[in-house]
Every structure is written in C-alpha cells, then in structure tokens.
Structure 1
Amino acid sequence: MKLISWNVNGLRAAVKKNFYEDIKQIDADIISLQETKLQEGQIEMALPGYYQYWNYAEKKGYSGVAVFTKIEPISVKKGMGIKEFDTEGRLLTLEFDTFYLVNCYTPNAQPELKRLDFRLDWEEHFRKYLVKLDEEKPVILCGDLNVAHENIDLKNWKNNRKNPGFSDQERDAFTQLLDAGFIDTYRYFYPNKEGAYSWWSYRFNARKNNAGWRIDYFCVSNKLKNKLKNADILSTIFGSDHCPVELLVDMN
C-alpha cells in the first residue's frame, strides 16, 4: 500500500500548479492533504476512483485537511471531540479493517512562540487520542506536524533553537509521542541522512539552496514495524512550499 501526505498550502492554488499530474504520477492508495484553505463547495476535485473526505476550518481560507482514498473506510471522524481544537479543521481519522489513518495539521506555535501553550495543550490531548486508538487497531499518523525533531531535521538548527517548530518544548512533545509507542518512519529507514527536508521558506532561495526543514511525517504504531517497506520525501515535486512525503507499507 502506498500512502502520501502533502501540505498543499492552498488546494485551489495547487491545482493550478500540476497537482493532478503529480497525483496521477504518484498513484497512491491514500492521499492526505493539509492546509487546504477552503470551505465546502469551493472546489470540485476530479479524482475518479477515490473517496473524498474533508474537514474544514470555521475560519475562511485557513487550515483544513482532506483524505482521498481508493479504499472505502469503515468510519470517518473529524477532530478529537474537543471543542477548542476542533474548530480549525486540523484532523481527520479514517478507520479501515486493519488500521486507523490519522491525517493531522498540527497548530503552529507562531512567531515569538505566542501560541506555544495552545500547541502544547494540543500535543498532550493528541498523544492520548492516538494511544487510545492504538489500543483498538494500529495507527498510521501522517501530516504536517510542524516540528523538526532533531538537529539533523533542519539546515540551520543553531539559529532556530527558540523558534516555532524547533523549540525544546515542541521537540520534547514529539519525543513523548515516539516514546508512547510510535515510529518516525523516515528516520527508521534513514537514521542519519542529512539534507532531507519537506518544507522550505519562499524567502532567500531556500528551496534552491536546500535550506529546509523536515516537518512532514508518517509515524506508525510500533506494532506495524515489520510491515514497513520504505519511506520517502518526494522533493522533486513542487506546487507548494512543502513537498509530499510517502510511506510504503504491507497491510495484507
């Protein structure tokens, strides 16, 4: 089974930049998108063969996630069931026969860490949510998790120690998630690979110079370790300031 996750930074903009051609070429079984930035009825997706599921933010032009899947899920849930987190369209959970897929767009801590308390509160509740799901079925978590976990996961780590996405608190929260029974699949396959990034600022020719961050992930339950086949970062695909990330897993 092939899965991809992609922060498209505005789906309506992405479809004008080769989105359909890229998706056709990748030919994934499940496609998870973040930051769709639209409301219901604002786009018609021409994706024959895929079931489509959406979670929109109440605020227009903000956040939002979607999942397109060739496999019909048993059930679909929007959010975590916590009102303060569920208005921003950040979470979709699809239940399949043998696993849960969780598509997540984690809140950004914001410049000067203005939203760090909200972010850490989210992290605490989200980790508990995932652990509870994992008690029922293995979990495949994907999305823009808005954190570079280790120094190797961003180009200029020394200058970013207290910046959003690389604060000690956010990195610790990700460590706690892994310690709760999850695997960062890219680092499972490529523990020491440098220069592997999934997001680049639009400023300073960051992408051309590969001055990026790895903040887009597939994390899976430990119990799926033996089913993992590969993880990849599709950095040759443009159309957003993020590129897609990919997971190959044997769920038969």
Structure 2
Amino acid sequence: MSWNVNGIRSISRKGALRVFNDFDIILLQEIRSSDLPLDLLSMGFNVYGFPAVRKGYSGVLTLSRVEPINVIRGIGVKDFDDEGRVISIELPDFYVINAYFPRAGDDLSRLSFKLVFNRSIEKFTLELRMRKPVIICGDFNAVYSRRDSSFWDDNHPGLTPLERQWLSEFIGKGFTDTFRLIHPNEIKYSWRSYRDRGKAMRIDYCLVSSELTNRVVDADILDTEGSDHYPILLVIK
C-alpha cells in the first residue's frame, strides 16, 4: 500500500493506522515528522524513515514485514534529499522505491525544481533497474491523461504539459501503470481537494518495470479516509 498521509500523527489520531495490518509493505509520503506514533511502532514492521531536514515538512516512511537486503535513503542530490523525498528498499526479487514528488506550486514557482527532480529520480530508478526489476510507488503530483482529472487547466500544478509529458515518457521507458492495467477504463481519483470537493485527480501511482507486469494480480485505489489522498493498493504474486 502507498499513501500520502498528509501527516503521520494526524492519521494516527483519526484511527486510520488499522488499515496497515492488511499489508506486507507500506509506503507513506508527507509524514511531516521524525517522531512516529507508538501504535505504528508496535505493529511488527521493520521501519525505515527519511524525514526532511525542515521540521513538519515532507518526509517518507517505508514499513516492511520482510527485512530488506539494503535500504537506500535519498537519490544522491542534496536539494531533494534534504526534503526527504525518496527512500528505497532492496528485496530479493526487486527494489521498492517510495517517492514523494515535489508539487509545482499554485503559481508554478517550483515547476523547474520539480522537473529537475523528475529527471534525477528517473536516472536513479533506471540505474537500479539495471540490477533487478523496480516497483516505484508514491505521490507523483501529476496526471498524464485527461480522464485522470475531474477538471482541466494547463496552468494548474500537476496538469501542466511539461509534467504530463515527463510522466508519459517515463512510463514509456518500460514501466506499467498498474491501476490502468487492472482498470483500463475506470475513472477513479486518488486525491480530492479539501476546499473544493469537485476537484479531484489521480496523481498517486504504483508503477512496475515491465519485467514484473505479468506478476501483477490487483491494483486499486482504496476508499480509506484520513487524508486528502486515498491509499493505493498493489498485489503481486
């Protein structure tokens, strides 16, 4: 399961942690804290965090019932690693990358920053893939198809042509959008605006490198409340 929780302590107070028991690997984004709830620490997972340097901001957390061979914090670029954007674990058959992509900003002031991040994480991911298959999940903060948004504005963060082009090109380099593999025609969103409930987008993804496509059993967006994002599910055999 992958989920932008919009604050790990917030969803803990809301009782949303109970859904974690159903999964072997949990990938959380925007945890906003280096202090983890005690009920999370007592659930039997191996816990690997990568918080941002700035307190109360960003950060990723990976929980795994399987002990990894290796844990990689960051992608080797200080500007992005200081924001706690990526943590990866190596398992026997594949890598699992937990990624929280920057948002371009309401005024697109961080669009250039995000595009550099996109290229950097692409390089990192493709280098890992040379060793073994890769699963990359998280909040990509972008859509690449018009049916993945309830509204359209080329100047809205996540909908700009440059963001959509990169995501489409990245998937085209040998990755499978697992939700679309299982649900080729379904309209379903992973994020909904707190302020305007009519605004919704599918911006959270689990992508697998093509070597793993035939192992995908299920992928979905879960109807679990607690954040402005919904968790996404991936089941592989």
Answer whether TM exceeds 0.5 for this pair.
yes
1:197 corresponds to which residue? 189
Question: Which amino acid counterpart does residue 210 of structure 2 have in structure 1?
Answer: N
Q: Does 1:237 align with 2:224?
A: yes
Q: How does 1:210-221 map to 2 (within 5 A)?
A: 211-221=199-209
Q: How does 1:70-89 map to 2 (within 5 A)?
A: 70-89=65-84
Cα RMSD, aligned residues only? 1.2
2:216 corresponds to which residue? 228
1: CA distance between counterparts of 2:91 and 2:115?
Answer: 29
2:11 pairs with one of 14, 29, 42: 14
Asked if the contact 1:131–1:180 (Cα under 8 Å) also holds between the matched residues in 2, the reply is no
Task: Identify unmatched segments of 5+ residues in structure 2.
Answer: none
TM-score under structure 2 length normalisation: 0.96
Question: Which amino acid counterpart does residue 110 of structure 2 have in structure 1?
Answer: R
2: CA distance between counterparts of 1:214 and 1:29?
Answer: 24
TM-score under structure 1 length normalisation: 0.91
Task: Identify unmatched segments of 5+ residues in structure 1.
Answer: none
Deviation at 1:203, TM superposition (A): 1.0
Deviations 1:76-114 (Å, cap 9, x if unpaired)?
Answer: 011001112110001001001110000000011101211
Deviation at 1:230, TM superposition (A): 1.1
2: CA distance between counterparts of 1:98 and 1:193?
Answer: 30
1: CA distance between counterparts of 2:43 and 2:28?
Answer: 17
2: CA distance between counterparts of 1:169 and 1:138?
Answer: 27
2: CA distance between counterparts of 1:48 and 1:147?
Answer: 32
Deviation at 1:178, TM superposition (A): 0.7
Deviation at 1:42, TM superposition (A): 5.4
Deviation at 1:43, TM superposition (A): 3.8
Asked if the contact 2:12–2:37 (Cα under 8 Å) also holds between the matched residues in 1, the reply is no
Deviation at 1:128, TM superposition (A): 1.2
1: CA distance between counterparts of 2:43 and 2:106?
Answer: 40
Question: Which amino acid counterpart does residue 107 of structure 1 have in structure 2?
Answer: P
Aligned residues: 236
Pair 42,183 (structure 1): closer, same or farther in 2 beyond 3 Å? closer
Question: Which amino acid counterpart does residue 12 of structure 2 have in structure 1?
Answer: V
1:64 corresponds to which residue? 59
Identity %, equivalent residues: 40
2:120 pairs with one of 115, 121, 125: 125
Q: How does 1:1-252 map to 2 (within 5 A)?
A: 4-24=1-21, 27-39=22-34, 41=35, 43-44=37-38, 45-157=40-152, 160-194=153-187, 196-204=188-196, 206=197, 211-234=199-222, 236-250=223-237
